[in-house]
Structure 1
Amino acid sequence: MTRVYLLVEGQTEEAFVRELLVPHYARFGLYLTPIIVSTSPGYKGGVVSYAKIKPQIQRLCRQDAGAHVSTLFDLYALPQDFPGKTDVAYPANSTGQQKAVFLESQLAQDICQPNFIPNLMVHEFEALLFVLPDKFAEWVNSPAVVNRLRAHAQAHTTPEDINESPQTAPSKRILSAMPGYQKTFHGPLIACEIGLDAMRAACPHFQGWLQQLEALSPPAVV
């Protein structure tokens, strides 16, 4: 069995990994363990400073060289000290996927560990929920909410194209349509209802990351 540690941004991503990814990939010989980033002594969650995140990634890579380490961080609102964020070449990347690939490359170079697989969510976890907006229907009383979310999804080529401004990021659009949305509660539940197959079919960057994980599967199990 192949061990993979996933350093995640918060409780929502941790629940998503445990409830959807862990049971799915266990069948392929991949043992995934989500770990929420530490921000300060006694506090967890949020990528507020890369200087605080880097030692955690490197420690995970070094303490179990036979395992692999990856990340589940939002591209949206990454701190300015994140590798590549202030690089002169960064603005030339026009799409979210291009930005993520560029920053992931910079992150890999900075961590410099052979068992590290960088990954950023484009633009954030909530983008996955726009794969099937109809799944929100169970949690709201008004069809107008679902219609509004569906309109946002239909206005973009993929959910990963929903942009990252403070007003229009995926989570902000959901909160605008559904003020009662609770990220840690609704997020993982709706994600599980949507399912992994639909997500990977609609989100190419997310799909690419899953393929990297799948490539780690023990040959005898595949």
Structure 2
Amino acid sequence: MSRLYLLVEGQTEEAFVNELLVPYYASQGLYLIPIIVSTSSGHKGGIVSYAKIKPQIEKLCKQDTGAHVSTLFDLYALPADFPGKALDGYPSSGSGHQKAEFLEAALAQEVNQRTFIPNLMVHEFEALLFVRVEAFAEWTDDDRVLGPLVAVSMTTAPEDINDSPQTAPSKRILAAVPGYQKTVHGPLIACDIGLDAMRRACPHFAAWLGKIEQLLS
């Protein structure tokens, strides 16, 4: 069985991996182990600075040379010191996919480990939930509040929903469904939507799945 350590941004991503990705890939012979990033002594979750997570990536790559390592970090609100963000070639006016690919390449070069597979979520985990916003209906007493989410999902692909502090996927969800609890509802809704639907609607996410699936060959 192949092993893949996933350094994830927080509890939501950890639950998403454990509840959806782990059982899906375990049956195929790929064992995923999510690990939440440490931000300081005794605290976990969130990408405060790249300087804090670089040693964690390197440690994972070196402690189990028979395994691979990847990441589940949000493109949204990445710190300024993340590899590639300060380079002249960074496509600041490009699409989320273009930004993520550029930063992933810079991260791969920075880490420089054969077993490392960089990955950024475009623009954040909640984009996956826009694949089928009707899945939120179970968590609200009035389906009409989902109107804004339905509207944007009809005109914009999930990974193209922009990343401003007001209109990022998670901000839109909280505006429509104030009771949304990221760590509780997010993974459950993701499981309801299913990995196949996410793969069809989210090409950047699908490309990453394709990369880790190559470990099965």
TM bin (shorter chain): over 0.9
Residues 149 and 176 of structure 2 are in contact (CA less than 8 Å); yes or no, is this contact kept in structure 1?
yes
Query: Bigger shift: 65-74 or 86-95?
Result: 86-95
Within 5 A, what are the aligned runs for 1:1-150?
1-91=1-91, 94-150=94-150
- Structure 2 residue ranges without an equivalent (≥5): none
Which residue is equivalent to 1:194? 193
Task: Find the residue that maps to 2:60 and give its secondary structure.
Answer: helix
- 1:147 is displaced (CA, Å) by 2.1
- 1:135 is displaced (CA, Å) by 0.3
Q: Deviations over 1:108-136 (max 9, x none)?
A: 00000000000000000000000000000
AA in 2 matched with 1:37: V
AA in 2 matched with 1:16: F
- 1:208 is displaced (CA, Å) by 0.2
Normalising by structure 2, what TM-score?
0.98
Normalising by structure 1, what TM-score?
0.96
Within 5 A, what are the aligned runs for 1:143-158?
143-156=143-156, 158=157
Task: Find the residue that maps to 1:85 and give its secondary structure.
Answer: coil
**C-alpha separation between the residues in 1 aligned to 2:131 and 2:81?**
31
**C-alpha separation between the residues in 1 aligned to 2:77 and 2:154?**
24
Task: Find the residue that maps to 1:84 and give its secondary structure.
Answer: coil
Q: How many residues align?
A: 217
- 1:91 is displaced (CA, Å) by 3.1
- 1:155 is displaced (CA, Å) by 2.1
Residues 3 and 67 of structure 2 are in contact (CA less than 8 Å); yes or no, is this contact kept in structure 1?
yes
Residues 91 and 98 of structure 2 are in contact (CA less than 8 Å); yes or no, is this contact kept in structure 1?
no
- 1:93 is displaced (CA, Å) by 5.4
**C-alpha separation between the residues in 2 aligned to 1:92 and 1:129?**
25
* Percent of paired sites with the same residue: 70
Within 5 A, what are the aligned runs for 1:174-213?
174-213=173-212
**C-alpha separation between the residues in 1 aligned to 2:186 and 2:133?**
12
What is the CA RMSD across the aligned residues, in angstroms? 0.8
AA in 1 matched with 2:76: Y
**C-alpha separation between the residues in 1 aligned to 2:209 and 2:145?**
31
